[in-house]
Amino acid sequence: MTGNGNRQIVTIADPAALATAAAERVMNRIAANSGRVAICLTGGSSPKQLYQLLATDAYRSRIPWERVHWFIGDERFVPAGDPLNNMAMARATFLDRCAPAANIHPIPTATADPADPDRSAALYEQELRSFYGTDTLGQARPLFDLVLMGVGPDGHTASLFPGYPAVEETARWVVGVPKANVEPFVPRVTLTLPTLASCREMLFEIAGPGKRTILKRALAGENLPANRARSIGETIWLVDRAALPEDFRGQ
Ligand code: 6PG
């Protein structure tokens, strides 16, 4: 394990071991909070194995489902049942079989106007504020226990794309993104950096040779949204060997 500011890079053998390590971190975060737990999920393909694991008896039986709430860090304007819908993927993989419906908090894109992603963002911001209980995120009381994240090929995370104004947003908790920088090129809604930062732990999953180029840029300290996403608590990047650039092997 190597440290970088308040970020730790943890190298793991392969995607299966990475999913297990992530699942154990989910369990630890749940165990650390005896009250209402809030977990912010991510989309993309990286968390799928983790979500599958959480649905297995070994994990499912250990999760106090009644007191865990599930949010999503960003959403795409595709129909609610479309597999490209981030929350739909999480629902189909584990939430619908395990979590009470009232504890699943999707970003409302299905009935919203795709030409107005800010409207959908405002609704989700309202939901987050009311869950949190006040309008100002305090350092001593993070919004989320755990925020899961991934890194895209351009260095985006959630739907915070390089050079987009959403990355600089500090007042709003959630914003609309009229057009994505990568596929699917649909409008998005994303939590902003300060909102994502309001957590006890931010956990990235980064696996496969396809991530090597962007990981090299990120680890070199480039100004990328993924590098700017930091928790007020712990920030951990779980990286599998195939994703690790040559120069960083052996660290
Ligand atoms: C999204 C995601 C996005 C994702 C990265 C990594 O809605 O697109 O939330 O930020 O985490 O693009 O995606 P993969 O896991 O598919 O590589």
What pLDDT does 109 receive? 86
The alpha carbon of 246 and the centre of ligand 1 are apart by a number of angstroms equal to 23
- Whole-angstrom distance, CA of residue 55 vs CA of residue 51: 7
DSSP sequence for 57-109: HHHHTTS-GGGEEEEESEEESS-TTSTTSHHHHHIIIIIHHHS-GGGB-----
86 close to ligand 1 (CB < 6 Angstrom): yes
For the chain, what is the mean pLDDT?
94
What pLDDT does 3 receive? 43
What pLDDT does 14 receive? 97
The residue whose C-alpha atom lies closest to atom 5 belonging to ligand 1 is 152
42 close to ligand 1 (CB < 6 Angstrom): yes
What pLDDT does 250 receive? 58
Reported as a single tens digit per residue, the pLDDT across 15-36 is 999 999 999 999 999 999 999 9
Residue 115 clears pLDDT 80, i.e. is over it: no
What pLDDT does 113 receive? 76
Given pLDDT bands bounded at 50, 70 and 90, which one contains residue 8? very high
Overall average pLDDT of the 77-97 stretch: 92
pTM for this predicted structure = 0.96
